[in-house]
A and B are shown apart, each in its own frame.
Chain A
Amino acid sequence: MDLGPFLLLASLEGLVQAAVLSLSALGLCLVFGVLRVVNVAHGEFHMVGAVIAWSVSHALFGHPLFGFLVALLAAPLFVGVIAFTADRVILRKINHNPEATIVATIGMLYVIQQSVLIGFGPDARAMEPPFYFHVNFPWFGYSGYKLSVILMAVALLLMVWHVISRTRLGLLMRATQLDREMAQVFGIPVGWVYGLVFAAGAMLAALGAVLIAPIRQVHYLMGLDPLLMSFIVVIIGGLGSIRGTLLAALVIGMSDGIISMLFSPTLAKMISTLLVALVLIFKPEGLFGQHKP
């Protein structure tokens, strides 16, 4: 293949990567923005989402599209309930102290991951894509499902944007983010908002996982990669900045996809990680971050 078409193929792969990454990084970013904590178990919520997607599509007969649509609802719901409970039971008890939360979510990471290992087993399993068709470019054919992933991710991102900026729930969230005590004084149930946002963050990771599950294999250790990639994106974008996160997800996802195709995935990860170091040296608050007051 010539270099031009090859680059096009690589950028398409990068776009798919960026689409899923932006969902999961946005989840991490929301949680950090409102609760001021980092959720290390984020990747495991992603993994659980994929496992649910696989189980649902495997258990249901009929057209795979049907199973996929059910999974698109069931996975975030299931993961959301787990995350909400975890927040109310564990994180509330330690007052969402940033350092204690990191330790607690590391614990959650192991508990979730190992429980899935017990229930799901150590094998990687493939999930059937909901539909097959090829989009034929002049040089190569490309999976229509992968293209639809990009569209679905964009649709989901628009929905999130709508909820945050146009609904009452989003208003409560933004109020809590701006000034927790003042929100409490105005009668906003801050504890519930925290729980809901934590759940919403996890649900975004799970949604991304449902989209990617038919492309990648489902495995109990698959959570680490999205976690680290989301960290990279969130730091480069500036902790808590939605705009920065989305832009960084696009850049990192694309570059990761392209470098993975041209050289090797390991090298791609090393480069993006070192990029984080560079950003931190020259701009410790991230590209779009603001200094904390």
Chain B
Amino acid sequence: MMENSGKRSLALHIGVLALLSLLPFILPDYHHLTITRIMILAMFALGYNVLFGYVGLLSLGHAMFFACGLYAAGLPVYHLGWEVPLAFLFAVVISALAAALIGAIALRTQGVAFMIVTLMFSQVAYLATLYFSNVTGGDEGLVLPEHARRFEILGMLVDLTSPQVRYYTALGLLSASALIVYRWVNSGLGREWVAVRENESRTGMLGYNTFLIKLKAMVISGTLSGSAGAAYGLLFAYIGSTFASIQYSIDALLFTLLGGAGTVLGPILGSFIMFYLIDFFSGHTTAYLLATGVVLILLIMYFPLGVLGTLRKRWLHWLP
């Protein structure tokens, strides 16, 4: 039974990714760019979900990790002329370090204080990007130079101005992140996370170092979010302060909550639904963020498990 459900869920995940790889052939051009964007944001939400869905820590500051990756990748490319792959790796490392540092401080607090503290740190990061605007470009941001649009890796020339290349790069990154998360939550560490979520003091009593467990989750979550930020900056050749604003932290929360916190595919599904919903609303009114608010309230009141969470509870018990 266990074996069977494991195979079934793995098949589902691979199926979803395969479906995504076929979409460009079916959908009109307009959607290519949109879905590329959504996939990167979904990667961000995947990272967020590790902390929120599996460990039960509600962070309101993940935009700072996203922005950390964004700037750590974009600034060296812009100012020092680094190659794209090197900048990406650098951003991943820096995000991991930032997440470890912020985690070590923020995890000293419990419950609501954790949410406020992450919000505050994120705000400092946002203000810092504004304050040092001669380096970061502040609100207006920076457009990455031409040399950063193409690079050679393993003898292949990659041209980031091509929509197809961007689409499949994003898909590749998303798949890699999804599989990493999938592996991790099904490992011993994943079980420790859920144990902390369900009852932290009991887990501590059983001899686990809950602080360390939470810190590991924070680092993984922050690194994934940072990688998403780096990918966003490099793929679309633009970095700016907006990405560090509270809005992005809330988006990650919203995508995760909508799709189903604590499911691997939930954040991906949530990102797709919400992005198209907002896209639809912004065509009709300037106050499209109203949709964000209404969805958040309705979700938490009537639908706290999200789409996949509810499906899992009702019918698909094997969903990871």
Contacts and interface: CB of A to CB of B under 8 A. Distances in A.
Interface string A269-293: 1100110110011001000000000
B112 A277 contact: no
B113 interface: yes
B131 A266 contact: yes
A147 interface: no
Contact of A281 (B108, B257, B289, B294): B108
Contact of A113 (B60, B121, B130, B289): B289
Interface residues of A, number: 43
A215 interface: no
Contacts of A232: 120
B105 A235 contact: no
Given A266-B130, A270-B131, A110 B119 contact: no
B108 A280 contact: yes
Interface residues of B, number: 42
Nearest to B301: A93
B214 to A, nearest CB: 15
A104 B300 contact: yes
A140 to B, nearest CB: 28
Interface in B221-276: 246, 250, 253, 257
B296 A114 contact: no
B297 A264 contact: no
A100 interface: yes
Contact of A94 (B58, B109, B115, B301): B301
Contacts of B287: 114-115, 117-118
B286 A102 contact: no
A151 interface: no
Interface in B90-115: 105-106, 108-113, 115
A181 interface: no
Given A117-B287, A235-B117, A280-B108, A90 B297 contact: yes
Contact of B290 (A37, A114, A224): A114
A98 B250 contact: no
A38 interface: yes
A264 B119 CA distance: 21
A87 B174 CA distance: 39
A157 interface: no
B293 A267 contact: no
Contacts of B131: 264, 266-267, 270
A239 interface: yes
A99 B58 contact: yes
Contact of A284 (B60, B108, B294, B304): B108
A169 to B, nearest CB: 26
Contact of A118 (B120, B121, B250, B285): B285
A228 interface: yes
Contacts of B120: 228, 231-232, 235, 273, 276-277
B33 interface: no
B311 interface: no
Nearest to B246: A224
B9 interface: no
A103 B296 contact: yes
B285 A100 contact: no
Contacts, number: 122
A38 B115 CA distance: 10
Main secondary structure of the interface of B (DSSP, over half): helix
Contacts of B130: 266
A115 B294 CA distance: 11
Interface string A103-142: 1101111111111011000100000000000000000000
B115 A102 contact: yes
B296 A104 contact: yes
A246 B281 CA distance: 42
A117 B281 CA distance: 15
Interface in A13-37: 32, 37
A277 B105 contact: yes
Contact of A280 (B113, B290, B300): B113
A116 B130 CA distance: 26
Contact of B300 (A107, A267, A269): A107
Contacts of B116: 38, 231, 235
B123 interface: yes
A264 B130 CA distance: 12
Interface centre among B120, B124, B286 (most CB of A within 10 A): B120
B297 A108 contact: yes
B125 to A, nearest CB: 9
B189 interface: no
B133 to A, nearest CB: 10
B127 interface: yes
A62 B130 CA distance: 43
A273 B290 contact: no
B124 A98 contact: no
Given A98-B111, A99-B112, 19 more contacts: A93-B301, A102-B60, A103-B300, A104-B300, A107-B295, A107-B297, A108-B293, A111-B290, A114-B293, A235-B116, A266-B130, A270-B127, A270-B131, A273-B120, A273-B121, A273-B127, A277-B120, A281-B108, A284-B113
* 4 closest residue pairs by CB, A with B: A110-B293, A107-B296, A107-B297, A111-B293
Interface of B: 58, 60, 105-106, 108-113, 115-117, 119-121, 123-124, 127-128, 130-131, 246, 250, 253, 257, 285-290, 292-297, 299-301, 304
18 contacts: A38-B112, A94-B301, A103-B58, A104-B296, A104-B297, A106-B253, A110-B292, A111-B290, A114-B289, A115-B287, A231-B120, A235-B116, A235-B120, A264-B131, A273-B120, A280-B106, A280-B117, A281-B108
